[in-house]
A and B are shown apart, each in its own frame.
Chain A
Amino acid sequence: MSDPNNKNEWPIFEIFIRSKNGLEHRHVGSLHAADATMAIENARDVYTRRQEGVSIWVVPSKEITASNPEDAGELFEPAEDKVYRHPTFYELPIELKHI
């Protein structure tokens, strides 16, 4: 029987797929692979069986640094009242065109 703390488990890779040229790569999920070459092959078979993609990025999960959800307040809420970053903040006469 396998050892549950098996260090030999294939590492996890996060998979990003570009569904067609002109669009950005989007995170679609993860999978296991021994190395990046295999991760690309596995991603092709796991995540593009139905023509979902034209390009694949694979990133070892352990290389991803994520923001802490507890910091969400200080990180993201200060943007809430910065209405001047949005075009509707600026009042122009409605008869004006193309601006």
Chain B
Amino acid sequence: MSPEINLEEQFQARIDAGQKIEPKDWMPEKYRKTHIRQISQHAHSEVVGMLPEGNWITRAPSLRRKVGLLAKVQDEAGHGLYLYSAAETLGISRDEMYEQLHTGKAKYSSIFNYPTLSWADIGAIGWLVDGAAIINQVMLTRTSFGPYARAMVRICKEESFHQRQGYEIMLGLAKGTPEQKEMAQDALNRFWWPSLMMFGPRDEDSPNTAQSVKWKIKRKTNDELRQQFVDITVPQAEFLGLSIPDPTLQWNEERGHYDFGEIDWNEFWQVVKGNGPCNKERLAARVDAWEEGAWVRDAAMAYAEWKEKEKIKKAV
């Protein structure tokens, strides 16, 4: 047996025993690479995710809603930051990760390539998109890589208000005027299917699941998580008096779950490949912020170096 295989077995045994892996520990190259990819994609999703919601900050309908939304979008920047930090412990710089995002090499969650067309979309995103994200993230608090798990603990703690905020917005609309209720229904109609897509391809089209389960990046399959989301969300929609845009949706007594219709997988893959309604705009906004920020970042570094030299000069 080669020493490499032995190390890998020991590594897996540690994960199986519930031990955390820390950055300086030995790890298989594939483990490192998979984590860099997954954590950075997760970070990109947080940061790109600021854009669709940010689209309504300046038009929020009341001061209370405005500060709530601002704080939420700000949290997403924070969460992106925690995640980039976790990935950096694996030996990649934040700049490199940005580069991958900006050149289209790295992916982010496709849901953010859909436009926010009304205020109700802000409610729907908080309720559905954050709801779907939480299911994933709670699972990740127990993942095997220490820095990722710790970032997720912090994120889950902070995110608990996000979904409540979204649902409260929806509740207000559902109890409001016919116009407001229509706005809420329209948002649900547009965000329902993309939310289901957030859990990724069907299990049979998801070849990496087995490996991810082994490393505890995943504890349930895409389809299991999707089912969990539908089961939780349908009664919440009923409570709002809104209808889920799926004529086949039905409670299945035997399975103890809701049956639901087929996702438009063609749309799913199109958006993943960059042909969604807003892919180009989202990426362009990030690239702009980055490029226009370059001179600012450079100035701060130049100033820091100058101050440092001044300090040394004084000391001498």
A30: chain B residues at CB < 8 Å are: 85, 88
Q: Could you tell me if A31 and B81 are in contact, using CB atoms closer than 8 angstroms?
A: yes
Cα–Cα distance between A93 and B94 once the two chains are bound (Å): 61
Question: Told that A1-B102, A2-B102, A8-B298 touch, could you supply 6 new A-B pairs with CB distance under 8 A?
Answer: A2-B291, A29-B154, A30-B85, A34-B297, A35-B308, A69-B24
- CB of A44 to closest CB in B, whole Å: 12
Residues of A at the B interface (CB closer than 8 Å) are 1-2, 4, 6, 8-10, 12, 29-32, 34-35, 38, 46, 49-50, 66, 68-70
**Complex Cα gap A10–B299 (Å):** 11
Contact with B82, one of A4, A29, A66 (Cβ below 8 angstroms): A29
CB A34 to nearest CB in B, in angstroms, measures 4
- Chain B residues in 8 Å Cβ range of A10: 297, 300-301
Interface string of B287-316 (1 = CB under 8 A from A): 100110010011011011001100000000
Are B297 and A1 neighbours in the complex by a CB distance under 8 Å? no
Considering only CB atoms, which chain A residue lies closest to B71 in the complex?
A49
Asked if B304 contacts A34 (CB within 8 A), the reply is yes
A35→B290 contact, CB < 8 A: no
Taking a contact as CB atoms closer than 8 A, the residue among A8, A34, A68 that contacts B24 in the complex is A68
Which residues of A have CB within 8 Å of B150?
A: 29
Write the B92-116 contact mask toward A (1 if CB under 8 angstroms, else 0).
Answer: 0111101100110000000000000
**Does B151 interact with chain A (Cβ within 8 Å)?**
yes
Q: Which residues of B contact A34 (CB under 8 A)?
A: 297, 300-301, 303-304
B276 at the A/B interface (Cβ < 8 Å)?
A: no
- Report 24 cross-chain contacts, Cβ distance below 8 Å, ordered by A residue: A1-B287, A2-B290, A2-B294, A4-B93, A8-B297, A8-B301, A9-B94, A9-B95, A9-B297, A10-B301, A12-B85, A12-B88, A30-B88, A31-B81, A32-B94, A34-B300, A34-B303, A34-B304, A35-B307, A35-B308, A46-B78, A49-B74, A69-B24, A70-B26
